[in-house]
Amino acid sequence: MFTLDGIRKFHHWTHTSLSIVIDHLSTLPAIDYEKQLPGFSTLRHHIVHVFNGEGFWIHSLQGLSYIDREMAEYPAAADTRRLQQEIHQNTLAYLSGLTEQQLNANTALRFPDGDLVTRTPALIIHHFLTHAHHHKGQIASICRLLGYPLPDTYLCQFE
């Protein structure tokens, strides 16, 4: 059984880590922030995609539709801070309305294409948080290839 306290900690650590990433990306030249390397999307694509993913899943858990934010709304890395804050607050608001029993209870999720699946909110939240770390790894790889290695973003430093 997952706990709300544990989920909140994992969420906080993830967003603290992503804040370090945004701070780092904000120091890069704009041309490199938008550079398309073979086999990768741009840095901007990755960071906006992370927050769109969380937004989509939290909305889905609430039975609401979510419209992905457009990349053009966030031309610079620092602009993604607004999106991060919005998504972060939406997730915290959702969690504040849950009991631990609800967190661990099967929930029907209906997607825009009509698909219906049953999952626990705990699983969905773990999914989008690990998804964020997957893309953070992609961002770290791109930054290293461009000559701008990321600073330490390991979660164990945030406790």
CA–CA separation, 49 and 55 (whole Å): 10
Angle at 15 between CA 86 and CA 7, to 5 degrees: 100
pLDDT for 48 equals: 98
Residue 131 has a pLDDT of 98
Task: Give the contacts of 63 (CB within 8 A, at least 6 positions apart).
Answer: 110
Burial class (CB in 10 A: 0-12, 13-18, 19+), 91: buried
Q: CB 129: neighbour CB atoms within 10 A? A: 21
Residue among 146, 124, 157 nearest 20 (CA): 157
Q: Is the pTM here over 0.85, yes or no?
A: yes
Class of domain 4-158: mainly alpha
pLDDT the model gives residue 112: 83
Output 69-74 pairs: Cβ under 8 A, ≥24 positions apart: 71/44, 71/45, 74/44, 74/47, 74/48
The pLDDT value given to residue 11: 97
Among candidate residues 47, 45, 28, the one with its CA nearest the CA of residue 136: 47
pLDDT of 143 reads 98
In the DSSP assignment, the letter for residue 119 is: E
Can you give the pLDDT at residue 158? 76
Angstrom distance (rounded) from CA 81 to CA 90:
14
What are the C-alpha distances in Å from 66 to residues 49, 57, 141?
13, 9, 29
pLDDT for 140 equals: 97
**What pLDDT, on the 0 to 100 scale, is given for residue 105?**
97
pLDDT value of residue 121: 98
What number of other Cβ atoms are within 10 A of residue 7's Cβ? Answer: 20
Locate the domains of the chain by residue range: 4-158
The pLDDT, as a whole number, for residue 154 is 84
pLDDT of residue 111: 84
User: Residue ranges of the chain with pLDDT lower than 70?
Assistant: none
Q: How far apart are CA 65 and CA 62, in angstroms?
A: 9
